[in-house]
């Protein structure tokens, strides 16, 4: 089995010798986008966890905007957000990426039922 796995890896490398570099650039790009949106990263997140986080943050921000919120005035570092419900939840100390993603999606789900005039 190890021989098959090694052979497959060698074939992948021969077919796409720059794949590792491309994956590293994609990871860096995703981490940069998340950092600009106020997401604390530990550096231990897997590529899949980063993708899940980005997707959750994007969903949350889309819901905020669809309800008349502004992601700039309601950013995690805003001193006086327009609406606290529109602020992306902060990552807790030692919180796993998966748990943080779930909390963001839960906050997004709450926004699904949010009425714009309830502010």
Q: How many domains does one find in the chain?
A: 1
Sequence-distant (6+) residues with CB within 8 A of 114 are 63, 67, 85
State both tokens at 117.
Answer: 């005039």
pTM, whole model, 2 decimals?
A: 0.78
How far, in Å, CA of 119 to CA of 84, rounded? 10
Is the pLDDT higher at 107 or at 4? 107
Residue 27 has pLDDT above 60, yes or no: yes
Q: Quick one: pLDDT band at residue 72, thresholds 50, 70, 90?
A: confident
Show the domain range for 63: 2-118
Q: Token pair 């997401």 is at which residue?
A: 39
Q: Token pair 């008349």 is at which residue?
A: 68
Is the pLDDT higher at 78 or at 30? 30
């Amino acid at each position: 089995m190890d021989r098959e796995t090694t052979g497959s890896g060698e074939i992948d490398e021969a077919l796409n010798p720059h794949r590792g570099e491309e994956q590293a650039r994609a990871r860096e790009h995703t981490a940069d986008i998340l950092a600009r949106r106020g997401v604390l990263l530990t550096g231990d997140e897997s590529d899949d966890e980063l993708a899940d986080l980005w997707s959750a943050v994007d969903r949350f921000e889309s819901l905020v905007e669809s309800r008349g919120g502004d992601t700039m005035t309601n950013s995690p570092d805003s001193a006086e957000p327009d609406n606290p419900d529109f602020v992306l939840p902060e990552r807790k100390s030692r919180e796993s990426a998966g748990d943080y993603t779930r909390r963001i999606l839960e906050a997004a789900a709450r926004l699904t039922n949010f009425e714009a005039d309830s502010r």
